[in-house]
Amino acid sequence: MAKIVAGVGMSHVPAIGVAVDGGNTGDDYWKPLFAGFEKSKQWIKDQNPDVVIVVYNDHATAFSLELIPTFALGCAAKYDIADEGWGARPVPPVIGHPELAWHMAQSLVLDEFDMTIVNDMEVDHGLTVPLSLMFDQPDVWPCPVVPICVNVVQFPPPTGNRCYNLGKAIRRAVESFDKDLKVVIFGTGGMSHQLQAERAGLINSKFDKEFLDFMANDPKSAAAISHVEYLREAGSEGIELVMWNVMRGAIDEDVNEIHRHYHVPASNTAVGHIILENKK
């Protein structure tokens, strides 16, 4: 049986990818941010997962206004790295796990989560920055990835509660896969940030830290946060945090917090990170 053993929450700011690719992670500006991921890199190396599920949002890359899936599930064997407008990141292509992903698609649809199935998709910083933060700069990524894209660009995104319940359905899907696989799920995006208009630069550390507390100890309170609260308190793009609820739903309600990190800023954004393990 496949099993989700842990969940990881983290931001996916594009400037982090630029810093990694440019070799600037040791600069004064970036050093404290990356220092908070040293333990995480060792942790995931020790975990040595067979598959990582990455919940993220596409940023007008694979999906545009032509097609806006609320939840999309990548079933491809390989995902090329997208040129988002400033050239493709020099990172390895992402290898998928079609067998598990297709099983998840079937299970989720029958479980009444009507996923959009994607067989051809380029992936952007939303997926590759989390891989860089956790796996550093390998020649090939150490394990296959199942991408799950959540619409958070077109308002309204799915509710936090819907995301939380999708996480529970993902867990049922993974646990009904008949091969022994150790799976870790990443929930990405946020934390507080606003990229647009006159209020750009908003950071709400109090909100972010409470959200991290909810992730650790009170997932139902996180799942109950309304759209307008995210928008007002965490900034118009801070609503990406809704995706952490998918990760949180896919692990036990009562978990062990292994690691936490919070740093301001990365470009326009507060960076948050948490590692939560299921109790054995």
Partner 1 sequence: MSDSNDYKNIPGTYIFDAEQSRNGYHLNMFCMSLRHEKNRTAFKADEGKYLDEYPMTSAQRQAVLDRQWNEMLALGGNVYYTSKLGACDGINFQQLAAVMTGMDVADYRAMMVAGGRPIDGNRYKSEWEDGGKA
C-alpha closest to that of 238 among 70, 8, 13, 69: 13
d(CA 67, CA 188) in angstroms, rounded, equals 22
Query: Is the Cβ of residue 32 or residue 138 nearer to partner 1 in the bound state?
Result: 32
Task: For residue 70, state whether it binds partner 1 (rule: CB under 8 A).
Answer: no
Exactly one of 59, 125, 261, 273 is catalytic; which is it?
125
Site for partner 1 in 7-46 (CB under 8 A): 14-15, 18, 29
Query: Is the Cβ of residue 29 or residue 48 nearer to partner 1 in the bound state?
Result: 29
Query: Is the Cβ of residue 42 or residue 226 nearer to partner 1 in the bound state?
Result: 226
Task: For residue 159, state whether it binds partner 1 (rule: CB under 8 A).
Answer: yes
Give me 257's structure tokens: 């917090």
d(CA 32, CA 22) in angstroms, rounded, equals 17
* Residue span binding partner 1 (CB under 8 A) among the ranges 92-100, 135-143, 203-211, 214-222: 203-211
Task: For residue 196, state whether it binds partner 1 (rule: CB under 8 A).
Answer: yes
Read off the DSSP letter of residue 10.
Answer: E
Task: For residue 236, state whether it binds partner 1 (rule: CB under 8 A).
Answer: yes
Contact call for residues 41 and 261 (beta carbons, < 8 A): no
Residue in 204, 245, 249, 251 binding partner 1, rule: CB under 8 A: 204
Cβ-based neighbour number of residue 84 at 10 Å: 18
Give me 115's structure tokens: 């996923």
* Residue span binding partner 1 (CB under 8 A) among the ranges 31-39, 196-204, 242-250, 251-259: 196-204
Q: Is 280 exposed, middle or buried (0-12, 13-18, 19+ CB in 10 A)?
A: exposed
Task: For residue 5, state whether it binds partner 1 (rule: CB under 8 A).
Answer: no
d(CA 52, CA 131) in angstroms, rounded, equals 9
Exactly one of 12, 97, 103, 193 is catalytic; which is it?
193
- Bridge partners of 280, per DSSP, are none
- Residues making contact with partner 1 (CB under 8 A): 14-15, 18, 29, 59-61, 64-66, 82-87, 153-156, 159, 192, 194-207, 226-228, 231-233, 236-237, 264-265, 267-268, 270
Return the active site residues: 125, 193
